[in-house]
Structure 1
Amino acid sequence: MGLFLLWFFFGIGVIIQGVYLLMIFGRTAWFKSTSKSSSNQQPEEGVTVLVAAHNEFQNLKTLIPKLFEQDYPKFDVMIVNDRSTDRTKRLLEEMMAKYPKLRSVTIKYTPNHVTSKKFALTLGIKVAKNDVILLTDADCVPNSDQWIRKMTAPVRQEGKTFAIGYSGYQEKSGQLNRWIQFETILTALFYLSFGLWKAPFMGIGRNLCYRKSFFMEVKAFKGLWHLEGGDDDLFVNNYATGKNAAIVIDPAATTVSVPKETWKEYLVQKKRHLHAGKYYRGEDKRKIGIFSMSHALFWVGGFGLLIYFGIGMQWEHFSAVLGIILLRSVLMMSVFNSAAKTIQGKAPKMNPILNDLFYLGYFWVLGSVSYQAKDIQWK
């Protein structure tokens, strides 16, 4: 009976993992753009780049000049200074004198019944000059001077409400950074791939575009005010569809963020991100849950069979199981490397096999803790 269960677990894991890696994630990994270059004869619609910032003096000092290097004729930048106690206010005053298209609004306190970032974003969107809103974070920079043009194109020119993009992290040395690179690509494979299959379920606030008019019409954060986080993925989860959302895959349309330097900082950040998943629609929870369950079944069944056949010295069966594990590992490495090159133009160092095993503990332990957490904070 025990051997049957091991084979059953392993077989189910192999089949489902194969479907995800080839049919779902493969859609992103081997993506080929079919969009045609748009005509420049029509007037470009205005865009407001919106950033909510709390004590981000150093990051804003880098970001603001980068934003004004964008090759787009009609845009402004709105910085929401959210209760900052550092030199952010002074910096914004200096920058606004230098950049006429830079605007800011200052928040001195947050009402008790709402969470800080949602309040900051809502206020910024309300006073934004343009209907097309492009969001990023203070610790991000665009990957090219075409970022605004490419990220907003589906909303401006194709009648979409949402344009969902990718934001990666700076590559640095160390195992933490390699895990961050791996986990970021894996997350992107989920939301980009299902988006390409016309079933979008989340977006990243570091690179997300939508219309102000739609945001105000649906009262976007209605029912979400009490949740810390979810200003991006839960908003997309509630309102994005295969008809009104577009996925933007182009290295020139990405942003690059500053990664966490310590495991403690990283785990606090991911705890907030994973907690938001608790409020996804049931069908969207299953998209991630089926992959993670099959991943666990694959490794539990595979290791169990290797131990069983190794002890029994049944080397033919042992070799067959090991061969399947190695084949899946090679396929996974191929998908991840191809996806990274397609999305961001290069494949970073990320130890796919080691981190694939690490994902077992990450998802089931940190995911469970985050699901039950009540002490989630933005800043």
Structure 2
Amino acid sequence: MGLFLLWFFFGIGILIQAVYLLVIFGKSAFYNGNQSHSVNENEEGVTVVICAHNEFANLKTLIPKLFEQDYPAFDVMIVNDRSSDRTKRLLEQMMEIYPKLRSVTIKYTPAHVTAKKYALTLGIKVAKNDVILLTDADCIPETDQWIRKMTAPVRNQDKTFAVGFSGYEQKPGFLNNWIQFETLLTALYYMSFGLWKRPFMGIGRNLCYRKEFFMSVKAFKGIWHIEGGDDDLFLNQYASGGNTAIILDPEANTISKPKETRKEYLTQKKRHLHVGKYYRSEDKRKIGLYSFSHALFWLGGIGLLIYFGLAQSWEHFSAVFGIILLRSILLTLIFKSAEKKIQGTKPPKNIWILDFLYLGYFWVLGTISHQAKDIQWK
């Protein structure tokens, strides 16, 4: 009976993983969409909105980069959220240099709302233009085409949302390699399902929608009390296959500074994973089914290897090992292709090892994050 269950778990895991890797994730990995823009496009005004809490150093780098964008009609709104560093003075100096830079200062956050959502709502409310493009203070556009390409579906195709990718700087070390892997896997989830017309989330580091829509749905109604979710929960409520565009184009990406320590990274990921428990049930299943089949595959496969190894049944041992190896090769190929399509850079190293470690990461950190009550933005 025990051997039967191991084969059953292993088999179910293989089947579901094959569907995810080849069919769902393959939508991003083998994407051949048109990355060009029309010469007759509507160059409607765009406001880039950024919430900043004690981001003096990052804003000093970011603001000049933003005004290098190759787009004729845009301005930048910085929401100075309760900063105690030199942010206010920096913005005053920068506004003298860049006439299209504007700012609003928040001195306190009302008790009934979360800080990031309040800051973002105020920034969007006073934005000059209807097309809103969001990013964070520690992000840098990868190219001068970022504004043009990220906003194109909203400006020209009457889409409500345009969802882009934001990666992290590549640096040496295991932590950074893990961050690259986990970020790419997350992108494969939301970009692939989005390309299959089943969008369920996006990231606030690279997201576009209209101010008119944001105000018409009363901003973050229903999720004000949740720390986080100003991006993924907002899309989870309103995104659909018809109103959402996925921007899979390296020229439309932003890049962020990665966390340098395990403690900083785990704190960040705990906040991200905590929000997931508020997703719609069907969207929880999109992530949960992959992770569940991933666990079945590895636990069933390892169990079979141990069983056949102890029984010295090397023919069966080799068959199981071969299946595990084949799936690892397929996973690596999918990730390499997806990395090239999404970022245009080299994929993480030792993907199959990181995939195995993901087994413990998701179930342990996911459980901790689901039960956490001390989640904060800044």
Q: Shared topology, TM-score over 0.5?
A: yes
TM-fit CA distance, 1:39: 2.5
Quote the residue 1:20 is aligned against: 20
1:72–1:149: 8 Å Cα contact kept in structure 2?
yes
Inter-partner Cα distance in structure 2 for 1:14 and 1:218: 42
Quote the residue 1:45 is aligned against: 44
Amino acid aligned to 2:196:
W
TM (norm. structure 1) is 0.99
1:182–1:351: 8 Å Cα contact kept in structure 2?
no
Correspondence list, 1:62-81, <5 A: 62-81=61-80
Amino acid aligned to 2:281:
G
2:37–2:149: 8 Å Cα contact kept in structure 1?
no
Inter-partner Cα distance in structure 2 for 1:94 and 1:287: 47
1:266-285 deviation line (CA, Å, top 9, x unaligned): 00000000000000000000
* Residue 94 of structure 2 is aligned to residue 58 of structure 1: no
TM-fit CA distance, 1:43: 4.6
1:48–1:132: 8 Å Cα contact kept in structure 2?
yes
State the SS of the aligned residue for 2:25.
helix
TM-fit CA distance, 1:36: 5.8
1:140–1:206: 8 Å Cα contact kept in structure 2?
yes
Correspondence list, 1:155-194, <5 A: 155-194=154-193
Inter-partner Cα distance in structure 2 for 1:297 and 1:145: 44
Amino acid aligned to 1:8:
F
1:163–1:245: 8 Å Cα contact kept in structure 2?
yes
TM-fit CA distance, 1:309: 0.6
Quote the residue 2:346 is aligned against: 347
Quote the residue 2:110 is aligned against: 111
1:181–1:350: 8 Å Cα contact kept in structure 2?
no
Structure 2: 5+ residue runs without aligned partners?
none
Amino acid aligned to 1:338:
S
TM-fit CA distance, 1:354: 1.4
> Which stretch has the larger CA shift, 188-197 or 350-359?
350-359
2:202–2:232: 8 Å Cα contact kept in structure 1?
yes
Quote the residue 1:367 is aligned against: 366
2:75–2:101: 8 Å Cα contact kept in structure 1?
yes
Inter-partner Cα distance in structure 2 for 1:163 and 1:256: 17
Inter-partner Cα distance in structure 2 for 1:131 and 1:351: 44
2:42–2:155: 8 Å Cα contact kept in structure 1?
no
1:309–1:315: 8 Å Cα contact kept in structure 2?
yes
Quote the residue 1:98 is aligned against: 97
Quote the residue 1:276 is aligned against: 275
Quote the residue 1:247 is aligned against: 246
1:306–1:321: 8 Å Cα contact kept in structure 2?
yes
* Residue 211 of structure 2 is aligned to residue 212 of structure 1: yes
State the SS of the aligned residue for 1:38.
coil
2:336–2:346: 8 Å Cα contact kept in structure 1?
yes
TM-fit CA distance, 1:35: 6.2
Inter-partner Cα distance in structure 2 for 1:367 and 1:167: 22
TM-fit CA distance, 1:219: 1.1
TM-fit CA distance, 1:350: 3.6
Inter-partner Cα distance in structure 1 for 2:349 and 2:275: 25
State the SS of the aligned residue for 1:330.
helix
Aligned length: 378
1:183-235 deviation line (CA, Å, top 9, x unaligned): 00000000000000000000000000000000000013001111110000000
> Which stretch has the larger CA shift, 220-229 or 46-55?
220-229
Amino acid aligned to 2:82:
R
TM-fit CA distance, 1:347: 2.0
2:335–2:347: 8 Å Cα contact kept in structure 1?
no
Inter-partner Cα distance in structure 2 for 1:131 and 1:159: 13
State the SS of the aligned residue for 1:103.
strand
Alignment RMSD? 0.9
TM-fit CA distance, 1:250: 0.3
2:181–2:351: 8 Å Cα contact kept in structure 1?
yes
Inter-partner Cα distance in structure 2 for 1:35 and 1:144: 14
Inter-partner Cα distance in structure 1 for 2:346 and 2:135: 23
TM (norm. structure 2) is 0.99
Structure 1: 5+ residue runs without aligned partners?
none
